[in-house]
Amino acid sequence: MRVLVWFILGGLLACQSPKSQPPPPSPKPAPVPARPASVREAPPAYDSLYRTLADTAWVELIKWDPTFVLDIKYATTDNFTKQVLYDCGRCFLRKRVAQDLVAAHAQVKKQGYRMKIFDGYRPLAVQWKMWNATPSKSYVANPRKGSMHNRGGAVDLTLVDAQGQELDMGSPFDFFGKQAHLNYPHPAKVLANRKVLQTAMKAHHFNTISNEWWHFSHQKVYAVSDFPIPCQ
């Protein structure tokens, strides 16, 4: 019996090619890419630093809470002027305004949404360009007085769902018509979407205006500024 086993094994080894090699190892799975910056948690260093600043200091919103979605419209042609008005798509606010916005964002995230930011601080020079570009002055603050955006105290925004899709708010951003007004008789779903946003913002010291569902002004009022949005 032992002879038979050795005979069989010897035959199998003889049939193998001398150059045969063991099968190559299975390729390693590709590393899982890091989550994009827009959905990472806030870096503790920036959170700690920003909280020590004076309320009037300027901060970059996305560095305080990287889970915001940025779609800064005036850094593109996708706005009512059809012009690129900002050199880059960054959002700056006064520290107290940003802090309260981060708190409002935390509230809507518990409901499965995130905030998409369309605009924050706006240089006064850009306010003049907007003023001159529209015949409908009721939708653009007079630059002689300055807007809350020029003060770092206002934000334009909407909500997105878990797939990143914007909720139906009844009109697009920068729509200058009655459908953008808060009292327009939209379907119940639109009104419910607006209520989620308004409830969170009002709970954290922001006020609405009657003709733009996307605009919220902080209750604190700061001085007008005109520095260009920094892009470095």
Q: What is the CATH number of the domain that holds 59?
A: 3.30.1380.10
Residue 166 DSSP one-character state: B
Is residue 146 domain-resident? yes
Is residue 196 domain-resident? yes
Catalytic residue chosen out of the listed positions 41, 60, 166, 212: 212
Is residue 1 domain-resident? no
Is residue 187 domain-resident? yes
Beta strands across the sheet bearing 206-209: 69-70, 114-119, 154-160, 212-218, 206-209
Model confidence over 41-73: pLDDT tens digits? 445 567 788 989 999 999 999 999 999 999 999
User: Beta strand pairing status for 69-70 and 114-119?
Assistant: parallel
Model confidence over 151-174: pLDDT tens digits? 999 999 999 999 999 999 999 999
Buried/exposed 57-78: b ≥16 CB within 10 Å, e otherwise: ebbbbbbbbbbbbbbbbbbeee
Counting the structural domains of the chain, the total is 1
60 among known catalytic residues? no
Listed in sequence order, the residues at least 6 apart from 63 whose beta carbon sits closer than 8 Å to its beta carbon are 43, 46, 50
For the entire predicted model, the pTM comes to 0.80
Strand, helix or coil for residue 226: coil
Q: Is the dihedral of CA 210, 213, 218, 222 positive or negative?
A: negative
Is residue 102 domain-resident? yes
Mean pLDDT of all residues belonging to the chain: 85
Is residue 230 domain-resident? no
Domain containing 69 equals: 41-218
Is residue 16 domain-resident? no
Average pLDDT over residues 200-218: 98
d(CA 180, CA 30) in angstroms, rounded, equals 46
d(CA 158, CA 36) in angstroms, rounded, equals 20
